[in-house]
């Protein structure tokens, strides 16, 4: 039986202190998968504490990959790679709530000469998978689904390379196809319409794979040759920028905020949030910028300032896809409000995030206009404490805990346990940083 946790968030005066974020979720998934198909041992430090990344590790174990948590700490994972051939699973691969797990791992199981069934929770079972089914089928995999949704039954084997222009901007799909490209004969070419996070490309190189990348218009193309072997790595995973977004937006709510975030992922394909928040009036300085395993990592010093408004559209919608819920949740407190357009993808995330944001903002008394592809949230509004329904979506639960800091009265976040999907310690860390 699922037990619901309700967290009460009281209004705050300021955000102050320092916080170390869990390892980046996108990188953790990719490293766990690639460690499994590499030769030799990998050691992954600061592996994400989120339940989604545990789902990936669980699936890898079901595919015959041995791994353990190190005696040095729970978040250090040691993986004994099997090389590119995995073992047939004896039970369905449980991807839980994780779209990244089911989509990216489907590229690897499509290259295996056995059948795998991939299942997920209620939310995952509603999410569209044609975006991976179609190209993987063209490459030669046989995939059964429930009208394009999970469970997926994937029978793989040797694949044909593909030249594929992705119709949706999705780093999960790009990564899935690059992984499948490792199992294909010849060279696979993937083109994305706008640039999405490139952790798949960076991680593949780190594991010894050669690939070519170049810009194409607003997007990019990546080419990968099949049959390459991977070697194990020793890596330290930088702090998750999409999780940091909650505290950055919290700091933006109060002019007197002072926040430090060490060891944070600063990959340019993820860091658009920092530009946007700076344009809106938050003071952010980056110290100790360095490159670790191909990923930029830095420490942030943040001071509150003004909170103007902004418009997020075009390629920004893809670049900020995971941060839009929290930006939208603080939008009523901005001077000019926030407009979000071209963000239809939000409708097919862990919840319909356009509807989840609009409904909960209205519960707090805000005026919101909802569109098929976005929202307009006028600025200069005050919010009242309310009962929030996150629709079992981790990012909605956390986004509204931030809005609650400047509401009048207490806010009840129902189903607060969903935060554990990406950030189990979120409410503790928020409490530590909040001055009342």
The residues that bridge with 346 in the sheet, in sequence order, are none
Query: Is residue 172 involved in binding ligand S3P (CB under 6 A)?
Result: yes
CA–CA separation, 241 and 21 (whole Å): 8
DSSP, residue by residue, 37-62: HSEEEEEEET---SHHHHHHHHHHHH
Phi, psi torsion values for 276, nearest 5 degrees? -60, -45
Our CB check for ligand S3P shows the closer of 169 and 433 to be 169
Q: How far is the CB of 303 from ligand S3P (least distance, A)?
A: 28
Our CB check for ligand S3P shows the closer of 322 and 417 to be 322
Cβ neighbors of 275 (< 8 A, separation 6 or more) are none
The region of 53-61, 111-119, 171-179, 265-273 touching ligand S3P under the rule CB under 6 A is: 171-179
Query: Is residue 26 involved in binding ligand S3P (CB under 6 A)?
Result: yes
Q: Count of residues binding ligand S3P (CB under 6 A)?
A: 10
Q: How far is the CB of 28 from ligand S3P (least distance, A)?
A: 9
Our CB check for ligand S3P shows the closer of 26 and 49 to be 26
CA–CA separation, 288 and 385 (whole Å): 39
163 carries an active-site annotation: no
Our CB check for ligand S3P shows the closer of 198 and 389 to be 198
Q: How far is the CB of 166 from ligand S3P (least distance, A)?
A: 10
Query: Is residue 170 involved in binding ligand S3P (CB under 6 A)?
Result: yes
Query: Is residue 106 involved in binding ligand S3P (CB under 6 A)?
Result: no
Binding to ligand S3P (CB under 6 A): which residues in 323-352? 345
The region of 54-62, 80-88, 164-172, 371-379 touching ligand S3P under the rule CB under 6 A is: 164-172
Q: Per the structure block, which two tokens stand in for 360?
A: 């909960």
322, 352, 373, 389: the active-site residue: 322
Helix runs in 290-413, H state only = 315-319, 324-330, 353-363, 394-403
Query: Is residue 322 involved in binding ligand S3P (CB under 6 A)?
Result: yes
Binding to ligand S3P (CB under 6 A): which residues in 29-48? none
Q: How many CB atoms lie within 10 A of CB 287?
A: 10
Residues that bind ligand S3P (CB under 6 A): 26, 100, 170-172, 175, 197, 321-322, 345
Q: Please give the positions annotated as active site.
A: 322
């Amino acid at each position: 039986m699922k037990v619901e946790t309700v967290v009460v968030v009281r209004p705050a005066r300021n955000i102050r202190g320092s916080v170390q974020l869990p390892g980046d979720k996108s990188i953790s998934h990719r490293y766990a998968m690639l460690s499994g198909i590499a030769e030799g041992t990998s050691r992954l430090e600061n592996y994400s504490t989120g339940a989604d990344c545990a789902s990936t590790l669980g699936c890898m174990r079901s595919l015959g990959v041995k791994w353990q948590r190190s005696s040095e700490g729970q978040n250090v994972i040691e993986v004994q790679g099997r090389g590119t051939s995995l073992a047939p699973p004896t039970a369905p691969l449980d991807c839980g709530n994780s779209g990244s797990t089911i989509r990216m791992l489907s590229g690897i199981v499509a290259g295996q000469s056995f059948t795998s069934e991939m299942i997920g929770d209620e939310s995952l079972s509603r999410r569209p998978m044609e975006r991976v089914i179609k190209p993987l089928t063209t490459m030669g995999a046989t995939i059964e689904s429930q009208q394009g949704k999970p469970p997926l039954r994937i029978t793989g084997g040797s694949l044909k390379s593909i030249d594929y222009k992705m119709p949706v901007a999705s780093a999960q799909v790009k990564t899935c196809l690059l992984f499948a490209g490792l199992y294909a004969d010849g060279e696979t070419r993937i083109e994305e319409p706008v640039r999405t996070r490139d952790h798949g490309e960076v991680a593949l190189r780190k594991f010894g794979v050669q690939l070519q990348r170049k810009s194409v218009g607003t997007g990019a193309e990546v080419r990968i040759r099949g049959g390459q072997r991977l070697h194990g790595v020793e890596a330290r995973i930088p702090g998750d920028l999409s999780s940091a977004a909650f505290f950055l937006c919290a700091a933006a709510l109060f002019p007197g905020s002072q926040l430090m975030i060490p060891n944070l992922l600063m990959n340019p394909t993820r860091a658009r949030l920092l530009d946007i928040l700076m344009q809106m009036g938050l003071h952010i300085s980056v110290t100790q910028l360095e490159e670790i395993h191909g990923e930029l990592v830095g420490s942030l010093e943040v001071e509150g300032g003004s909170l103007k408004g902004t418009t997020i559209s075009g390629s920004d919608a893809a670049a900020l896809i995971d941060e839009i819920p929290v930006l939208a949740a603080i939008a009523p407190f901005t001077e000019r409000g926030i407009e979000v357009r071209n963000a239809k993808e939000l409708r097919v995330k862990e919840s319909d995030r356009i509807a989840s944001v609009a409904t909960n903002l209205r519960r707090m008394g805000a005026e919101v206009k909802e569109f098929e592809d976005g929202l307009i949230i006028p600025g200069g509004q005050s919010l009242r404490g309310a009962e929030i329904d996150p629709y079992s979506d981790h990012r909605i639960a956390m986004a509204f805990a931030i809005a609650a800091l400047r509401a009048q009265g207490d806010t009840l976040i129902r189903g607060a346990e969903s935060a554990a999907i990406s950030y189990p310690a979120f409410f503790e860390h928020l409490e530590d940083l909040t001055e009342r």
